[in-house]
């Protein structure tokens, strides 16, 4: 993970700095030193600190870059995330890349926190909020960490982490039952098997053929409630052994009604592919 982060920061700096920061070199004396703070401009959940600190270290190992908060902390406007001291040129050259990491990742954490809060049930508790693989290429590990910092949970990190049988797998296999049979027979032992259903009539076949999780795709609250009733009836009077995951079309306006249906998991692609950047800035002291 450390090597991957260093490589990612190096690529980001090469992209941004190119052959040199010509503006800083032309305007700031080489011997000048300074102090600066990275400050939240508005409420946010912090994430991306290690990437930001690594950016300053990569530009100038002699810089002092000190975290004043922890990933997962909720900051209000004016609160400090990072304190910097050292060569002025180095601070200015690293500024934009460090802020890009912090802004994007804190944006993911902040949006995740909003979904988690919106999904809480009136009596307490609620479904787990999951991310997806709809991540920025190269940033998956950082974005999934940001989801955790916001109170969410990670779905599969990569295709090797679990069997998720989607609609096209079912079509290619021939049926829900055949896809599940082959997954149990030929898939790696110990991995949970999840299958997507987008019609209620597929549910009994999925439940009867050993699915560990059923992904209820693009169903509104009414259909989800009906699905949960079907699942409950299938296992009655014993305990339910299959988890139910809602996915597709989930937003902050409807997540409370989706959570109220009793699903165990809600996956939200928007956490990583549509999170607005959090607002942080660097203030010179």
For 51-83, what is each residue's pLDDT tens digit? 999 999 999 999 999 999 999 999 999 999 999
Q: pLDDT tens digits, residue range 171-188?
A: 999 999 999 999 999 999
Position 11 pLDDT exceeds 90: yes
Task: List all residues 6 or more positions away from 137 whose beta carbon is below 8 Å from its beta carbon.
Answer: none
Long-range contacts of 221-224 (CB under 8 A, 24+ apart): 221/254, 221/257, 221/258, 221/260, 221/261, 224/258, 224/261, 224/263
From 217, 226, 264, 279, the catalytic residue: 217
- Per-residue pLDDT, 35: 98
From 166, 182, 184, 240, the catalytic residue: 166
Distance in angstroms (rounded) separating the CA atoms of residues 125 and 131: 19
Position 143 pLDDT exceeds 90: yes
- Per-residue pLDDT, 238: 85
From 71, 73, 143, 196, the catalytic residue: 196
Position 214 pLDDT exceeds 80: yes
Distance in angstroms (rounded) separating the CA atoms of residues 106 and 277: 7
Buried b / exposed e along 31-62 (16+ C-beta atoms within 10 A):
eeebebbbbbeeebbbbbbbbbbbbbbbbbee
Position 237 pLDDT exceeds 90: no
- Per-residue pLDDT, 1: 77
Rounded mean pLDDT of 201-209? 95
Rounded mean pLDDT of 145-169? 96
- Per-residue pLDDT, 123: 87
Q: pLDDT tens digits, residue range 78-128?
A: 999 999 999 999 999 999 999 999 999 999 999 999 999 999 999 889 999
Question: By the 8 A CB rule, do 47 and 108 touch?
Answer: yes
What integer best gives the mean pLDDT of the chain? 96
From 74, 96, 133, 140, the catalytic residue: 96
From 134, 140, 148, 182, the catalytic residue: 134
Rounded mean pLDDT of 43-50? 98
Position 2 pLDDT exceeds 90: no
| Strand bridging mode 33-40 / 80-87 | antiparallel
Q: Is 96 a catalytic residue?
A: yes
Distance in angstroms (rounded) separating the CA atoms of residues 281 and 37: 8
pLDDT tier at 9, thresholds 50, 70, 90: very high
Distance in angstroms (rounded) separating the CA atoms of residues 2 and 6: 6
Question: By the 8 A CB rule, do 255 and 266 touch?
Answer: yes
Instruction: Dig out the tokens for 205 from the structure.
Output: 């076949």
């Amino acid at each position: 993970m450390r090597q991957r982060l260093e490589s990612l920061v190096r690529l980001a700096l090469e992209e941004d700095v190119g052959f040199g920061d010509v503006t800083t070199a032309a305007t700031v004396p080489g011997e000048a030193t300074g102090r600066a703070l990275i400050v939240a401009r508005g409420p946010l959940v912090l994430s991306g600190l290690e990437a930001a600190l690594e950016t300053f270290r990569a530009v100038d190992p002699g810089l002092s870059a000190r975290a004043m908060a922890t990933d997962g902390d909720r900051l209000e406007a004016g609160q400090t995330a990072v304190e910097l001291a050292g060569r002025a040129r180095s601070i200015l050259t690293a500024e934009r890349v460090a802020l890009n990491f912090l802004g994007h990742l804190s944006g993911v954490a902040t949006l995740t926190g909003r979904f988690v809060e919106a999904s809480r049930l009136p009596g307490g508790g609620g479904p787990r909020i999951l991310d997806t693989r709809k991540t920025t290429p190269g940033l998956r590990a950082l974005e999934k960490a940001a989801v955790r910092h916001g109170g969410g949970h990670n779905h599969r990190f990569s295709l090797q982490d679990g069997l998720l049988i989607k609609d096209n797998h079912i079509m290619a296999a021939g049926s829900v039952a055949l896809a599940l049979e082959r997954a149990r027979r030929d898939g790696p032992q110990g991995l949970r098997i999840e299958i997507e259903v987008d019609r209620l009539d597929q549910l009994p076949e999925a439940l009867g053929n050993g699915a560990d999780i059923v992904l209820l795709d693009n169903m509104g609250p009414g259909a989800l409630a009906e699905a949960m009733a079907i699942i409950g009836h299938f296992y009655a009077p014993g305990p339910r052994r299959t988890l139910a995951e809602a996915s597709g079309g989930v937003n902050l306006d409807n997540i409370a009604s989706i959570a109220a249906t009793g699903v165990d998991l809600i996956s939200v692609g928007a956490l990583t592919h549509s999170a607005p950047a959090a607002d942080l800035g660097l203030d010179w002291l």
